[in-house]
Amino acid sequence: MNGKWSLLAVTAMMAFTLTACGGKSGEPASQTSGGSEAQGETVTLKFLNISEYLDSAEFKAFLERFEAKYPNIKVDPVSVPHEQYINKRNIMLASGEQVDLIWGNGVEQFDAINKNFLMPLDDVAKEADIDMSADFGDFKPDKDGKYYRFPIQQNNWMLYYNKKVFDDAGVPYPDPKVPMTWDEMAEVAQKLTNLSGKDKVYGMFYNNWGMYFYGYGSQLNNGKFYTDDGKVNIDAPEFKRSLEWMNDVMNVRKAAMPIAELIQNNTDFLSYWNGNYGMVVGAQWYAQLAATKKEQFPRDWKAGIAPMPVPAEMAGKHMNWSSIDSLAIPKNAKHPKESLILAKEYVSDYTLSTGALPMYTKVTKDKYFENLADALKDDDITLEQVTYLFGGDPDVVNVEEKPVLGAPQEYESTFLDLISQYYTGAETVDAVLEQVKVKVDNAIEEQSKQ
């Protein structure tokens, strides 16, 4: 009897295993080699991107439209959580796995360029009828005069503020068109701060991200994070002044949460929307993720937007920290031309639905601004303000948001590891910047040997 039961159990187990053990069945791998849209030939593109873009209903709808428009091109999306995206990308590309199109932010794509993973797009762009020097506005070649990135969008930074905090403190709202200087912002932040009540109110919110510390310096020296010979330039006086400004706001005026508390509390970037902060410098993602999502971020206060603060030397200028998300084609892609067709459709047809403004100049932008203004109308934000701040100002001055050239990941992580020592008083600003320079210069040196 036991033997029969054992046999039955084993049979059931085998059936369970064979029927359910997942593998993608019924889906052909890439069926042709070489880029071709010839009659009857179908190519399958493996598209590596982060989950937040590939897992959305909008992306699924886009894929349906794309495959209907290009019946000979199928897309096999590989969706990866952002935290592990680089690990997976590196393993897939280093192992020779066929990947036809990859997503990346500025740091990640330059890391891929430095690792020699990507192919230049200049020739294949001509085949796909794309003019890399004209179709994306003021977009320069990436390396050695060649384009490796197909730009999707660039961040548009601005000042978000909480009108209730301003009203409670009796402080007038920032001008909607003329930016404050950083010094003016520090003064306003101090006036807004009220640490006496049960709920502390800080005049300024910040994130533990590099640009919140060195971004003022980047505006001063036009994003010169590297010296002319490719070494680290973080010890330049402009960056030092930038870091000292933050120290003044945080530790002298007490108008921003001390960094130790910010880190210890694991303060999330979306915490700004709990209403206990007066101002924050943020990009369009604050509007995408929070300001327009009132069911997820319910609030009893109105938000306002104004241009990002600037150094006194740049008074009156509309400035922006530029960081470009892009698509790129790995060297082991089998179908570069079709990949670029997918990239072009992605920015033309999908990017707007993510709440971002594509850099591709052939996309009509009016609808984007209108939808955004409509979503923010309860905050008394106008279409004119939205157009001006969310990418519609042709005169905006863009400077690099962060270092992207030599050892960009090490640059950012080393900077953030060490900078808290300055703000907690353990080290001087000069000592910290020197340590960052030495460590990242070594990383750049190592990278150049590989």
Partner 1 sequence: MPLGSNIRYTVRSVVYLLVGLVFITPLLWMISTSLKFEHQVFERPFVFIHWDAVNWNNYSHVLTGTDFPVWLWNSVFVVIVSVVFRLLLSALGGYAFGFLKFRYSDGIFFAFLAAMFIPYQLTLLPQFISFRFIGLLDSHWALILPNIVDVLSIFLMRQFFLSFPKELVHAAYLEGSGVFRSFVRVALPLAATPLLTLGLLSFFMIWDQYFQPLIFLHSKELYTIPIGLQSFQTQFGKQYAMQMALACLAIIPVLGVFLALQKRFVESIVSSGLKG
Q: Closest Cα partner for 135 from 363, 400, 396, 389?
A: 363
Q: How does strand 277-282 pair with strand 202-205? A: parallel
Site for partner 1 contains 28 (CB under 8 A): no
Among residues 50 and 375, whose Cβ is nearest to partner 1? 50
139-163 CB burial, b ≥16 within 10 A, e <16: beebeeeebbbbbbbbbbbbbbbbe
CB under 8 A: which stretch of 31-39, 248-256, 260-268, 311-319 binds partner 1? 260-268
- Answer for the pair 402, 408: CB distance below 8 angstroms, yes or no: yes
**How many angstroms separate the CA atoms of 139 and 155, rounded?**
14
What is the total residue count of the chain? 450
Q: In this structure, are residues 48 and 89 in contact, taking their beta carbons and an 8 Å threshold?
A: yes
Asked if residue 94 binds partner 1 (CB under 8 A), the reply is yes
**Interaction mask 36-65, partner 1, x per CB under 8 A:** ----------x---xxx-xx----------
Ramachandran quadrant class, 377 (left: phi over 0; alpha: psi -120 to 50; beta: rest): alpha
Cα–Cα dist 217/221, whole Å: 6
Bridge pairing between strands 303-307 and 158-162: antiparallel
- The binder of partner 1 chosen from 32, 58, 72, 76 (CB under 8 A): 76
Should residue 105 be labelled a site residue for partner 1 when binding is judged by CB under 8 A?
A: yes
Least distance CB 78 / partner 1 (angstroms): 4
Our finding on whether 272 is near partner 1 (CB under 8 A) is yes
Inter-residue contact 360 to 348 (CB < 8 Å): yes
Task: Determine how β-strand 158-162 pairs with β-strand 277-282.
Answer: antiparallel
Q: Which member of 86, 171, 263, 270 binds partner 1 (CB under 8 A)? A: 270
* Least Cβ distance, residue 377 to partner 1 (angstroms): 21
Query: According to CB under 8 A, which one of 39, 196, 266, 364 is a site residue for partner 1?
Result: 266
Check binding of 296 to partner 1 (CB under 8 A): yes
Q: Is 31 in the site for partner 1 (CB under 8 A)?
A: no
- The residue from 251, 285, 373, 447 that contacts partner 1 (CB under 8 A) is 285
Residue 162's SS3 state is strand
Which is nearer to partner 1, 36 or 420 (by Cβ)? 420
290 binds partner 1 (CB under 8 A): yes
First-residue to last-residue Cα distance in the chain: 66
For residue 374, count other CB atoms closer than 10 A to its CB.
12
**Applying CB under 8 A, which part among 19-27, 136-144, 187-195, 363-371 lies near partner 1?**
19-27
Q: Considering the complex, what minimum distance in angstroms separates the CB of residue 237 from partner 1?
A: 30
Q: Which parts of this chain interact with partner 1 (CB under 8 A)?
A: 13, 16-17, 20-24, 46, 50-52, 54-55, 76-84, 87-88, 91-92, 94-97, 105, 198, 200, 265-274, 285, 289-290, 295-298
